[in-house]
Structure 1
Amino acid sequence: MQRACVVLFLLIGLALSVPNNHVADRIRNGLPMRGVNLGGWLVAEHWMTSTSSLWDDIPGDVVQQGEYALMKSCGNFEGTRRFGLHRSDWITEDDIEEIAKSGLNAVRVPVGFWITGFDMQGGDESQDWKVYAAGALEYLDLLVQDWAKKHNIAVLVDLHAARGSQNGYDHSAPKFFNKSTWSNNTQNVENSIDVLEFLVKRYKDEEAFLGVGCLNEPGGTTDENVLKLYYTKAYDRIRAISSKHLFGVAPLITQQQLNASDWQSFLLAPKHTDVIHEWHKYFKFLGWEDKTEDDVLKYVYGELKSDIKNWKGNRLFIGEWSLSTNPSAPFKDASRWNTFASGVVDAYSNAPAGWTYWTWKVSNDEEQVLPWSLRSLIRAGKFPKF
């Protein structure tokens, strides 16, 4: 009997000493992310979810403006009903299982500030969260606490839509389309910190939870100094809750290159730990509209790879990227496509924190191969090995 007890205690001790085998733990310890965004799910964008019943009978000028305009157009009751259907169907456990079987290890999940169900900051916009459809949190819970845990996928939660809007784009669900007022007052900024704090408190003990991205694509009239102060204050608040979760910092959308401002010396170790620096790199916008295939390939195999390798700041993370290009660079020839796609994947694989593709799925991607949709590329055998 005594020997049996000793064996039992040894087994219990061994079990307790076994390290966490979930991939999120390994990513926090240096394994690069090889992941995908769950775009269009908890922050809706019409261009990529156009077949969703969310947008039925909504005027064309409204659908381009994001969730706030949609909810104002159809009313809270009907909008909440529509979002309930959309969220239950757009991403399911089957998607997470397929993501895992594809060899990916992480998902980046866009959320809006309203996911908390409160706003403690007051001011003119303190009631705006009530305009948006409730219920997103239960799906984020499902993802973090069940699906991602079961299928060994790490979850990075990204504040995609901040109170006041950080860029005025539809994906920030702005109250006033094309207007970014986030950095105009302290209450907006403090609300964003509250959201990050809420998320980390809620999920800090969940093994699939990787951390937070603090702000998606700040741009428009967002003030760089306010942005950096926000990151600094948010870091202190988050580290008071958790010392191990990733803390994602994004520069202004116009500063996502090697020597922009002083980002390479911002929030560095040893004083600051587990900070990742996020770039979004596309071949569609910001000067790429008329570039040829040769222009794209020259950049991919030259400046892009060089910039990533020469980055000296916090671990670089390519949080959004796509193989979608403009008509001036169609890459219809299979050989040219392979040269392009493999070059991009190779370049981004040099980012120490890894990458997450934009996005997992888009409307109509089961009928045709669409470069915005990673699942359609993988299913068609058009995505390089990684």
Structure 2
Amino acid sequence: MRGVNLGGWLVAENWMTKGSPAWNGVPDDIANKGEFQTMQYLGHAKGDDQFKRHRDSFITEQDFRDISAAKMNTVRIPVGYWITGFDNSGGGDPNGWRVFAPNAISYLDRAIRDWAPRYNLVVLISYHAAKGSQNGMDHSAPSDPGNSHWGNYPENVVNTLDAVEWLARRYNGDAAFLGIGLLNEPSGTTPESVLKQYYYDAYGRIRLFSSCLLVVSPLLYQQGPYDSDWKNFMRCPNWYNVRHEWHRYQIWGFEGWDKNRLISYAQNELKNAVNAWVGNWLFIGEWCIASSANFDNDDDLRRYAQAQLEAFKGATGGWTFWTWKFYNDDGSRNGWSMKSMVNRGFIQL
């Protein structure tokens, strides 16, 4: 698997889509809290049209064509709990999904059933935003920003189980459907025991009808080979077609590092961490070449990108870069944008 995330599309993130019609008339302090807060502020009379225009324009068929031409084979698409259009969990706020702009599912349908197969790509759905929020961050569209309630209330977990099963059933017969990342970046107050039981239960439900890929993520602070006992979690032969996901960014916790230190880290510590993993096939679901360092020399930025790519060769389950592009991507040296990095020759596949 060698691919890219379509971040900011069906789970909108203001920091990477500024200028999108989704945020028209929305103060930054609200937009930066995610899609729930934004739609609550706008209301359906304004918000539905603004988010429709965002979804129509941000990612198009041309992007799938360009991703394929760049020699990638996979797109990871973040989605939220509202995409199903129902909540049968019987608790919490059963109408929370109604706050969001409707019809996101039609865009996912088009991606999986039209654009991806046309350009020889497969789609990994990433369950990015769960009811109650699994991390409190903007990309989980929390109703209570900064707080994670997903793992503390059984109805939230039930809603997530219903949703991932529904998505797997919907796309199980589609050739471009690779599978589902069962929960993105669980953190905050999410108990590890609840998280692991959710993975067991999701696997049990989906394996009744599908052998699709299922990806499990540890807690956000468990991104190394020796964290907790994840290396022994859901191992073959009792569980099959399961991958373990890490997100490896050299940004937070790396403030003040210069470019040479970052390159050395990627060549050594990062590579060693990946190679030390002994659990299920390792999948690097998110990474980038953005940093706080001053990469004033193009050759050094290429070296940094190549060092990470070399490190991730040890990840048997492959990788997806975060992210494909920013809104109105101008082709600048934006280390978050795979489109810019490929077009400028900083990443060569």
Q: In the alignment, what sits opposite 2:37?
A: 69
Q: In the alignment, is the contact (CA less than 8 A) between 1:349 and 1:355 conserved in 2?
A: no
The aligned residue for residue 298 of structure 2 is: 334
Q: Which residue of 1 aligns with 2:237?
A: 270
1:379 equivalenced with 2:343 (yes/no): yes
Structure 1 position 162 matched with structure 2 position 130: yes
Partner residue of 2:273? Answer: 307
Q: Distance in 2 between matches of 1:70 and 1:105?
A: 33
Equivalent-residue separation in structure 2 for 1:179 and 1:60 (angstroms): 19
CA-CA distance at 1:323 after TM superposition: 0.4
* CA displacement at 1:349 relative to structure 2: 2.2
Deviation per CA, 1:288-317: give whole Å up to 9, x if none: 122222331222111110111121100000
What secondary structure is seen at the aligned counterpart in 2 of 1:125?
coil
Conserved 8 A contact 2:136-2:145: yes
Give the one of 203, 207, 214 matched to 1:247.
214
User: What's the secondary structure of 2:113's corresponding residue?
Assistant: helix
Which residue, 202, 220, 225 being the options, matches 1:234? Answer: 202
- Report deviation, 1:367: 4.8
Q: Does 1:355 align with 2:322?
A: no
Out of 200-209 and 303-312, give the one that drifted further. Answer: 303-312
Deviations 1:209-259 (CA, angstroms, capped at 9, x unpaired)? 00000000011111111000100111111111202x100000000001010
Q: Which residue of 2 aligns with 1:193?
A: 161
Residues 312-338 of structure 1: per-residue CA shift (max 9 Å, x gap): 100000000000001xx1222123222
TM-aligned CA deviation for residue 364 of structure 1: 4.0
Partner residue in 2 for 1:12: none
- Please name the residue that 1:324 is paired with: 290
Equivalents in 2 of 1:77, 1:203: separation in Å?
A: 31
Name the counterpart of 1:210.
178
Structure 2 counterpart of 1:142, which letter?
Answer: R
Aligned length, in residue pairs: 349
Q: Which amino acid aligns with 1:217?
A: E
1:134 to 85, 97, 102: 102
After superposition, the C-alpha distances for 1:1-52 in whole angstroms (9 at most, x for unaligned) are xxxxxxxxxxxxxxxxxxxxxxxxxxxxxxxx11000011000000000010
Deviation string 1:147-201 (CA, Å, 9 cap, x unpaired) is 1011110100010000000000000000011010000111101111111101100
Q: 2:58, 2:327 within 8 Å by CA — same for their partners in 1?
A: no
5 Å-filtered alignment, 1:51-90, equals 51-90=19-58
1:83-139 deviation digits (Å, cap 9, x = unpaired): 111101110111101101110000000000010000000112211011111111000
Instruction: State the TM-score, normalizing by the size of structure 2.
Output: 0.98
Query: What SS class does the counterpart of residue 257 from structure 1 fall into?
Result: coil
- After TM superposition, the structure 1 = structure 2 runs for residues 360-371 of structure 1, keeping only pairs within 5 Å, are 360-371=324-335
Runs of 4+ in 1 over 4 A off after TM superposition: none
Cα deviation for residue 79 of structure 1 reads: 0.9
Q: CA deviation at 1:70?
A: 0.3
* 8 A Cα contact 1:168 1:220, kept in partner: yes
Structure 2 Cα separation of the partners of residues 363 and 141 of structure 1: 22
Contact 2:290–2:336, Cα closer than 8 Å, also in 1? yes
Partner residue of 1:94? 62
Give the superposed CA RMSD: 1.0
Secondary structure in structure 2 of the residue aligned to 1:79: helix
The amino acid across from 1:294 in the alignment is N
Alignment match, 1:37: 5
Q: Are 2:75 and 2:320, in contact at CA under 8 Å, matched by a contact in 1? A: yes
Q: Displacement, 1:353?
A: 0.8
Task: Give unpaired runs (5+ residues) of structure 1.
Answer: 1-32
Identity %: 46
Letter in 2 for 1:291: W
**Does residue 142 of structure 2 align to residue 174 of structure 1?**
yes
Name which of 46, 71, 74 aligns with 1:106: 74
Give the aligned partner of residue 288 of structure 1: 254
